[in-house]
Amino acid sequence: MKTNFNDLDNIDKSNPFRVPDNYFAQFNEDIMYKLPVKNKPVIQAKKITLWSKARPWVYAAALFALMFVGIQFYKYSVNTRINSKHATSSQSLMSNGNIDKYWSTVKISEDEFYQYLENQLTEDNYYDFMYNQIYSDTSM
């Protein structure tokens, strides 16, 4: 089908739609008149009390205080446990309650003591560890 565009030139180019006179002058009033009447509730501002402002800060301070007390309690209980272990081990060493009496009854010579230390160092490979620490640093 072939369209003839010459017919388009013959169409009337005027606007066929018309707006009544003073239509937009009273447009807002007409719309408001047609809307149903609603009673608007009065919105009162919410009162902000001092407690509602300070509450987050009070909670944070209480949390930190609780954490501090908890940590102190934990440190105290650990120290008490360690001290009680040392107390029981030292009490088992001392039969009379005096450590000087315990050490005065030990019959060991100085050579035996040094021999004991040397045996402990060689068994635990501390000599090799100390040797590597000393001579590896000086060779650089």
At 84-99, the pLDDT tens digits run 765 555 555 555 455 5
Mark the ranges of the chain whose per-residue pLDDT is less than 50.
96
pLDDT one-digit tens code per residue, 99-124: 556 566 677 788 888 888 888 777 77
Which pTM was predicted?
Answer: 0.32
Backbone angles phi, psi at 44, to 5 degrees: -95, 145
Residues with Cβ within 8 Å of 104's Cβ and at least 6 positions away in sequence, in order, are: none
11/36 Cα distance (integer angstroms): 45
Q: How many CB atoms lie within 10 A of CB 89?
A: 10
Upper half-sphere CA count for residue 105 (Cβ side, 13 Å) = 9
Specify the pLDDT at position 26.
Answer: 82
With contact defined as beta carbons under 8 Å apart, do 99 and 93 qualify? yes
Domain boundaries, the chain: 108-134
Alpha carbon distances (Å) from 37 to 23, 33, 42, 87, 91: 23, 9, 15, 88, 94
Specify the pLDDT at position 70.
Answer: 94
Residues with Cβ within 8 Å of 90's Cβ and at least 6 positions away in sequence, in order, are: 99
